[in-house]
Amino acid sequence: MDSVDVPMTLTTNQQSSTKFPLKICYHEIYTNGIHPDARFPRDRYVKLLQQLTTHSQTRMFDFIEPKQASKSDLLIAHDSKYVNDFLTQNLTEKEIRRIGLTPWTQDIIPRTLFLMGGAITALRHVTEYGGIAGNMAGGTHHAHYDFGSGYCIFNDLAVCALLAVEKYDFERVAILDFDVHQGDGTATILQNIENALTISVHCQGNFPFRKSISDHDISIPNGAEDDEYLAAIEQAILLANEFDPDIILYQAGVDGLATDSLGKLNITRNGMQERNQMVFDYVTEHSIPTVVFMGGGYSKPISHTIDAFTDLFVAAAITNEKMLSKLS
């Protein structure tokens, strides 16, 4: 602040941004626990961390290292045989293939537990303080009750939804899943839980090809652009609002970007920013504590994914500060 070279607006923003920094959970095992030869682009985590820590608004972020989730955390949403088989390295080849992230490293078990721990830490934080907190990974919506799939081993959205209801006394949890892929595992695990509302906006032609039934599925056609996508997002937020949630779990995957190598939508970076802003305006207006789960993003080059996630966390940080300033 004493350097004349720093533009005044930047200095002002930085100063005003430190009161309520956005808690973001990250552990280096998020990156290093995936084999460098895996098809999954593990570098997206460390690259995002670099971009956020060198960002002009970096003082708005407070990175925290989570603890590992416990086995009982997993059992709230998962079958005990599946949990035990994973923790004792007794999954079959077929079960591992269905998950992917292969070849697995020795750290796959701690990585999975730290990842879930990050989601739970963020949940606990918003339970205590309100506002927004995030996990810089996860959104593992393809993990089912007794099997994993599509890069997902255990379902952090389902675990957090059930913890929110059973442990933290929330009455209505809404899951907004805006990843390009349907939140099939979350939908099936939570299908009979009245306190949890699952809403998935996804591309019809993407994995999973046999879709589950969420409370609300808004399926949009391959190749859809910003207008159609944002109309679906608006509809999803209206449906959430009817449910009157007291906490929101936001799966904010950016694999709907036109540059994504897996997603089949044609969403621009600007469209993604608008999507996030619609969610953040909604939670600010109603003061709803919100946990951000990172979700998918596989652009080629990966820099488009990193930029879109940077936008997400910057917007989340600005929103968090607004929400907490209102409360204090």
Region binding Zn ion by CB under 5 A among candidate stretches 53-61, 251-259, 281-289, 315-323: 251-259
Q: Which of 240, 289, 328, 311 is nearest to 124 (CA)?
A: 289
Cβ closest to Zn ion, residue 138 vs residue 296: 296
Q: Which residue is nearest to Zn ion, using beta carbons? A: 296
Q: Which stretch binds Zn ion (CB under 5 A): 72-80, 167-175, 250-258, 282-290?
A: 250-258
Q: Looking at beta carbons only, is 289 or 296 nearer to Zn ion?
A: 296
Any contact of residue 255 with Zn ion (CB under 5 A)? yes
Looking up tokens 């079960």, which residue turns up?
Answer: 95
d(CA 315, CA 309): 10
Q: Token digits for 10?
A: 């930047």
Q: In the complex, what is the shortest distance from the CB of residue 293 to Zn ion, in angstroms, rounded to a whole number? A: 11
Is residue 138 a contact residue for Zn ion (CB under 5 A)? no
CB of 188 to Zn ion, least distance (A): 17
Smallest distance, Zn ion to C-beta of residue 3, A: 42
Are the C-beta atoms of residues 60 and 318 closer than 8 Å to each other?
A: yes
Considering beta carbons, is residue 125 or 142 the nearer one to Zn ion? 142
Nearer residue to Zn ion within complex by CB, 25 or 180: 180
Q: How far is CA 197 from CA 190, 220, 243, 247, 319, in A?
A: 8, 20, 8, 11, 23
Segments in the chain forming alpha helices (H): 8-16, 29-32, 43-53, 71-75, 80-87, 93-99, 108-129, 156-166, 184-189, 226-243, 269-286, 303-327
Q: Torsion angle, CA of 157/158/164/166, rounded to 10 degrees? A: -170
Q: Based on CB atoms, which residue is closest to Zn ion, 66 or 183?
A: 183
Among 296, 299, 306, 307, binds Zn ion (CB under 5 A): 296
List binders of Zn ion among 173-232 (CB under 5 A).
Answer: 179, 181
Q: CA 103, CA 117: separation in Å to the nearest integer?
A: 23
DSSP SS3 for 174: strand
Smallest gap from residue 180 Cβ to Zn ion (A): 5
Q: Is 294 within 8 Å of 112 (Cβ atoms)?
A: no
SS3 22: strand
Rounded to a whole number of angstroms, the minimum distance from the CB of residue 296 to Zn ion is: 3
* CB of 165 or CB of 308, closer to Zn ion: 308
Q: Name the one range near Zn ion by CB under 5 A: 23-31, 126-134, 271-279, 292-300.
A: 292-300
CB 208 to Zn ion: min, Å: 10
CB of 179 to Zn ion, least distance (A): 4
Which residue's structure tokens are 């570098």? 43
Decide if residue 253 touches Zn ion (CB under 5 A).
yes
Q: Which stretches of the chain bind Zn ion, using CB under 5 A?
A: 179, 181, 253, 255, 296
